[in-house]
Amino acid sequence: MPASRRGSSSVTLPTGQTLALHTRTSEAEDLPHATKKKMADHLRKYEALFTLTPQRMRMIVEAFKESLELGLSKPGQVVPMIPTYVFGWPTGKEQGNYLAIDLGGTNLRVCLVTLQGEGKFEITQSKYRLTEEQKQEDGQQLFDFCAECLKAFIDSNIEGGDIEKGAILPLGFTFSYPCNQNRIDHGELIRWTKGFGAPNTEGHDVVTMFRKSLDKFKVSAEIVALTCDTTGTLIASHYVNPKTKIACIFGTGCNAAYMEHVGDIPKMAQLGIDADAEMAINCEWGAFDSFEHENLPRTKYDQIIDETSNKPGEQAFEKLISGRYLGEILRLIICELIDEGMLFLGQNTYKLEIPYSFDTAFLSLMESDPTDELLMIIGIFTHFFAVETTLAERQFFRALAKLVGRRAARLSACGIAAIVSKMGYLEEGCAVGADGSLYNKYPGFAERIHEGLQDVFGEKGRNIITYHAEDGSGIGAAIIAAMTKDRKLANRYPNL
């Protein structure tokens, strides 16, 4: 009788559904499979490819710092270092009802935020899932969808008594894609990221487009501020924890924001803003090392992902660390081993050959509780890809997932270290508000970032602490809308 392994588990789908799995995996000798020794030989090859040494990390940090400085010096750089026109930190005294809408990589989220002062707030929200078709259809249609959802949300809250009928509420619009801004309620889309490709949008002012849709559907809201989720995260996190100096998003995409002295932003010198004033900078650091590819440790799998993406050559940093791509990196390695006759011989592997079919959520599950992880791997491969796995293969897949996930976290640490080093935060230390599905859900991601910071800075790296951030795209956008309203009422840079 062939040996078998039985087990039950549940797998959470990327859609949020939970599936119960009852699996049986054969170890029968009549089914060809890779031996433990062969898998170990291959693993050594991938360890060499995906391991990032402290010395290499420090080199990346120095190159990263140069890109940040260049982006502050002049417009049109690879890392654009976008001035957000968010002046300084919140006071904690902001009050009132504000709407926030967030066009994210996966969902459209609409929020009603009541700021109560003293760092307190209440939030009501609804989510609407974006289809892949909506991400590629005409840009104005995309904003029409946003306006329809916002109108439905407002109408529902009027009925519930949370919004006064006839009230026109200030709206903070979270749009987490790189834009050129010359004031806080304006933004020309530089390029889509996170898999979006809606035509007739790049080069256009997205606030103007959204206002057109709001007028079309007679939505009772006034766009006061355009921001990105990272800038919102920076402001919301500081609102709750004043030690916060940097905010990062590690999710479908990746980005960072921090507060810079206007005097250290040469490309803004002509605006005549007080040099001692502070302004939040939206780094859009996912573009680091794009086009030239001189600094990041790209493997052939990263190159395939880049070349087959809708934006070849762009977003080089993001393609190595964001949740959109990690599962695809692992799938490409698996497919290479299938082609070499190493895996799943005699089995139909067509499901594994579908691009992006191996979700990053699967990597997260493969690195979950060590008592369940091998059983979880059985469930993933049998249920989603209809292939049987051996124990040696499961151990190999888990080790491979760790390599890919650890490289992503250590590269993320390089980005944080570049800002820390540039701003001189290392000695006194600082908190980093971090959000996104990778940071929040991928096992060990935060710990690996901290490990990476210590590899870059030595023991002083312990002074930099990341923590789960406050809701930037909801609460943060509302606080920024409140700050902007107060600033303009005080006639402080009213045209910005």
Active-site positions? Answer: 176, 191, 229
Q: How far apart are CA 50 and CA 404, in angstroms?
A: 7
Strand order across the beta sheet in which 82-87 lies: 82-87, 278-282, 254-261, 244-250, 430-435, 464-468
Query: CB burial class (10 A; 0-12, 13-18, 19+) of residue 65?
Result: middle
Q: How far apart are CA 444 and CA 437, in angstroms?
A: 13
Strand pairing category for 120-129 and 107-117: antiparallel
CB atoms within 10 A of CB 259: 22
72 phi and psi, to 5 degrees?
-75, -25
- 27 three-class SS: coil
The residue to which tokens 């291959």 are assigned: 42
| Closest to 250 measured CA to CA, from 325, 359, 173, 175 | 325
3 state SS for 338-358: HHCCCCCCCCCCHHHHCCCCC
